[in-house]
A and B are shown apart, each in its own frame.
Chain A
Amino acid sequence: MDLFLNRLFDALSNGATYALIALSLVMIFKATTLINFAQGEFAMFGAFIVLVLAVEQGLPMWIALLGSMGLSALFAAGFERSLIRPFDPTNHLPLVIITLGAFLAINSIAGIIWRFDPRAFPNLFGSGVAVEIGGATLRWYTVGVMATVAATAILLTLLLNRTKIGLAFRAVSSNLESSELVGVRVGPTLQFGWALAAAVGTLGASVFAADPFRQLEPTIMVRVLIFAVSAAALGGLDSIGGAIIGGILIGCVQSLLVPYTPIPNDLSLAAAVVVLMLVLLFKPSGLFGTPRVERV
């Protein structure tokens, strides 16, 4: 029972970080039906900026985090404007290639600047144990991650449903051409989506790296991206709630399903890929997504 609880807490904290990255994927997918393959790398770079601001510049942790989220958002907005917008939004192939190029470039720039030695990430949520249930321990870290995800989801929902730019964003994601016809400025709205996604992604990578058992290094998000993609697909790729539930479920697959079945632990990534494949095969719209109709 203790072991089960410990694993459940692991599942929740892992799942919550996957949910954050999945959220950032979903933000872009909602608006453009595009997957940004470089999302994980954007996020990793943002986490390094947090590290630089907090450790090398000595800023308070929360200010460093917010500053880095702002910088990531600016960077992503510039990225969208200069590299994504010039292409036809309905033709995905060139856009995917661009994001793959960005994946390689950002990953190697981080490798050149910070090398590949793991670095300790400052503590975000306080250390130690929050609650002890029998032999199982719920760490403050897990509590903090869960709270962060919940807060992010609430803020995002409010932003999308209560603000003007949120309304424009929903209009564009529902129907790009019609929203253009009624006067929504599509370009800046999509740019807003990219910026928001990058900020959420940076938060996700920082939270992920802030686990005292982990360290930050440039390849940290490569695996996480696959888990997050599975989470986003499971949740339906265009649903905020779906991304969070998908993230938690993928966390459960990794930390609960795999240990209790004969699947070797090293193959938890494979398990996530299998989930991704099954979802796309049998229910491409995921648990909460909007089914897409293809017209000839």
Chain B
Amino acid sequence: MASAPRFQFVAGSSEHSTYRLIGWVSLVVLLVIVAFAYNDTASLTILDNEYSLGLTRITKAIAFILALLGLQVVAGFTGQLSLGQGFFFGTGAYITAYLVQDKPLFGWNYFTSLIVVVPVCFLLGMLFGIPALRIKGLYLALVTLGLAAVFPALVQLQQLQEYTNGAGGKLIDADIVAPSWLPLDGIAGAFQSIPLIGQYFGDGDLSSREEDRIWIFFLMTIVAVVCFKMVSNMIASRPGRAMRAIRDNETSAAVSGIDLSLYKTLSFGVASALGGVGGMVYVAELGIAAPLDFTQLLSILFIVGLIVGGAGTLSGAVVGGLVLAFVPEWASSTESLPGVPERWLQGPTGTLFLGLLLIVLMFVLPGGVIAGVRQLRARFVQIIPQAPGAAAAAVAVDDAASEEIAGDLDDEPSVDVAVDESDETTDTTKVGGEV
């Protein structure tokens, strides 16, 4: 029992919800701190290289996170390897750019453009999902890669020049401006007045650019949280179960009465819609939609993000998005490393690193970072699943938990906490039983 987890929670118990609440609250606090501390100028210096941590990159990461969330649905959960996510990312970006920029006709807000972006990408995704009903695995990867490769040529078409501005890219001059009622300066001031760590929160009032950045970051975080909630609900309910069944064994899923065509096209639709939303965030942050940002390289990088985070995990999308937003940036800021000739540090070093990372991960951690984190967490925290209904089940769990903790008592020095833990578990299971 030496490796028995340090904390144990029964799923659904009040401790479990407290544990989760603590997790969420610390996430929100972290986001607020990140927003104010890493605003604009923050950087890290290692071996004479300056690595920027600016907030704009985190907002860019949110764009990638959303696209990866979509890829998780179609590739991670439904098992349809799509190399075409960049296509929908680009579509979302261009539609947003058009709707926001073309003033006389549209001149919309970034967020209202979603009411066009989401349905259009959803339908396009369903449309491109139709071949996936007959084309499987490797072949699907080929077709979708072709789709992604076509995108830059498509938006540079003569006939679309008027809408997409061709090779130069579509520039947007509308900015998201922080509302004046928001006391951002006050919050920044409050952070700055904290002793010791206050110096990391900059100096004096925020410039209007900084305020806008913080505001965009929060808005996009909300968009991302809403999307995550929707996807995790979907994954936990009937469509999600159907998708996982299709991934695990298509034939047996079909035999169990799952409508393959419905759920496959649905997963493509959802994935593409999320890709489109990601494109909106991307263009809102960058202010330009340029054709060469959306080549098949982007789609392949999305696969890197999928695998780095861990296919089939929603939180993997967050890890993957951050990696995609920061690694290339940091790689190009690495201008000198001891023992490495300088010319080897110029050029697409970030892509090289990501490519090698992808290969190495397949050997050492095929489940991605999240699988690694989960293994690590399992040493400290255990969530004991509770069988639905029946007090008997609760009692059984209770017994099991007490036994494990009794084992814990033998060889762990932190007796007090462990005993507390066991008492509380007993209490809650009783409460659970009464309910």
Interface residues of A (CB under 8 A from B): 33-35, 37, 83, 86-87, 92-94, 96-98, 100-109, 111-112, 115, 222-223, 226, 229-230, 233, 264, 266-267, 269-270, 272-273, 276-277, 280-281, 284, 296
Contact = CB atoms under 8 A, between A and B. Distances in A.
Contacts of A272: 146
Interface stretch (B92-100, B357-365, B371-379, B396-404): B357-365
B351 A273 contact: no
Contact of A223 (B149, B157, B366): B149
Interface residues of B, number: 48
Given A97-B307, A296-B251, 6 more contacts: A93-B137, A97-B303, A102-B359, A112-B343, A233-B142, A280-B142
B18 interface: no
Contacts of B363: 86
B349 to A, nearest CB: 7
Contacts of A269: 146, 149-150, 153
B150 A229 contact: no
Interface of B: 81, 83, 131, 134-135, 137-139, 141-143, 145-147, 149-150, 153-154, 156-159, 251, 296-297, 300-301, 303-304, 307, 343-344, 346-352, 354-359, 362-363, 366
B157 A266 contact: yes
Contacts of B158: 264, 266
A87 B137 CA distance: 17
Given A93-B81, A97-B362, A103-B355, A273 B146 contact: yes
A271 to B, nearest CB: 9
A222 B134 contact: no
A96 B141 contact: yes
Contacts of B153: 266-267, 269-270
Given A270-B153, A270-B154, A98 B359 contact: yes
Contact of A35 (B131, B138, B150, B300): B138
Contact of A101 (B157, B356, B366): B356
Given A272-B146, A276-B146, A112 B358 contact: no
27 contacts: A33-B138, A35-B138, A35-B141, A92-B138, A94-B362, A96-B81, A96-B141, A101-B357, A101-B362, A104-B301, A104-B355, A104-B358, A106-B355, A108-B350, A109-B352, A112-B348, A115-B347, A222-B149, A226-B145, A233-B142, A267-B154, A267-B157, A269-B146, A277-B131, A284-B134, A284-B135, A296-B251
Contacts of B347: 108, 111-112, 115
Contact of A281 (B135, B138, B156, B307): B135
A25 to B, nearest CB: 10
B137 A108 contact: no
Nearest to B363: A86
A269 B149 CA distance: 8
Nearest to B360: A101
Nearest to A273: B146
Q: Which of A87, A103, A104 has the most CB of B within 10 A?
A: A104
Nearest to A264: B157
Contacts of B141: 35, 37, 96
Given A229-B142, A267-B153, A100 B131 contact: no
